[in-house]
Amino acid sequence: MENFRVDLSGKRALVTGGSRGLGLAVAVELASGGAEVAICGRKQENLKSALDVLGARGLSAFATAAHLGRPDHVERLFEDLSNSFGDIDILVNNVGMNIFTPRVSEVDNDLWDKIIEGNLKSAFMVSKAAVPMMKKRGGGRIINISSVAARKAAPGMGVYCVAKAGLEMLTRVLAVELAGYGIRVNAVAPGMIRTEFSKPFWNKKELLDEFVKGVPLGRIAETEDVVGTVLYLVSGVADYVTGEVITVDGGSVA
């Protein structure tokens, strides 16, 4: 992202799911822009690997393990931030998960809860905990990582589609509720990104070729394609943008 840098000096950012994939790429760019960055993830070994990646670039981050579907873990995360890192003014809700599911009309309650928790409830709880910090800082930015699945039902992904659709409405509701406090809330909705999360799709040539047929730009996204949009939304040039969902999918929804 050398061709696009934003000055984030004096800012503190939390990236959930920041130990790998898109979350780690976002954390690297925020830190490169001068922000103090905290990352969280479920596994200590992944967090250690993320810190190694940052360190190799001369960057650092505060890292803590947390399962963000659990209220007690969210509470502990923000206690850790308050005690060892400080109040944040940038939040990137990047945590997400998907499991191939039967038809929504047939899915069991526990699996429904797990997918909703991982994609929607976690963002709700983390945003709720971050808002008092942002109010103290005089404003802030919340960026929710959604998906084109929020607007296009797909077989085997029904609950995920519902969860991401809910996340986009949460984005709009929070934007209206928090505008008076100087807190902008937006979302980024990528198509398929070349990460471990989507590897079962892009790692199989026949599936990848079939998917790319529907992408006018002729390829799937790399992490840097999406990170640039996040940087735009946390930068000063997006001061008048709130409640928006920006699609980054190579034109496939058009």
SS3 assignment for the chain = CCCCCCCCCCCEEEEECCCCHHHHHHHHHHHHCCCEEEEEECCHHHHHHHHHHHHHCCCCCEEEECCCCCHHHHHHHHHHHHHHCCCCCEEEECCCCCCCCCCHHHCCHHHHHHHHHHHHHHHHHHHHHHHHHHHHHCCEEEEEECCHHHCCCCCCCHHHHHHHHHHHHHHHHHHHHHHHHCEEEEEEEECCECCHHHHHHHCCHHHHHHHHCCCCCCCCECHHHHHHHHHHHHCHHHCCCCCCEEEECCCCCC
Residues 64-75: what's their mean pLDDT? Answer: 96
Percent of the chain clearing pLDDT 70 (strictly above): 95
More confident residue, 70 or 154: 70
Q: So what's the pLDDT on residue 4? A: 64
- What is the pLDDT averaged over residues 129-151? 96
Tell me the average pLDDT across 134-161: 94
Whether 3 shows a pLDDT value over 60: the answer reads no
- The per-residue pLDDT for 73 is 97
**Catalytic residue, candidates 160, 181, 232, 240:** 160
How confident is the model over 218-237, as a mean pLDDT? Answer: 92
pLDDT tens digits along 13-37: 999 999 999 999 999 999 999 999 9
pLDDT tens profile 168-227: 999 999 999 999 999 999 999 998 887 766 666 667 777 777 778 888 888 888 889 999
pLDDT at 220: 82
Annotation says 232 is catalytic: no
Q: State the pLDDT at residue 2.
A: 56
The domain 12-247 is classified under which CATH number: 3.40.640.10, 3.40.50.720, 3.40.50.200, 3.40.50.1100?
Answer: 3.40.50.720
Q: What residue segments make up the domains of the chain, in order of their start?
A: 12-247
Indicate the length of the chain as a whole number: 254
pLDDT category at 107 given cuts 50, 70, 90 is: very high
How far is it, in rounded angstroms, from Cα 190 to Cα 167?
A: 13
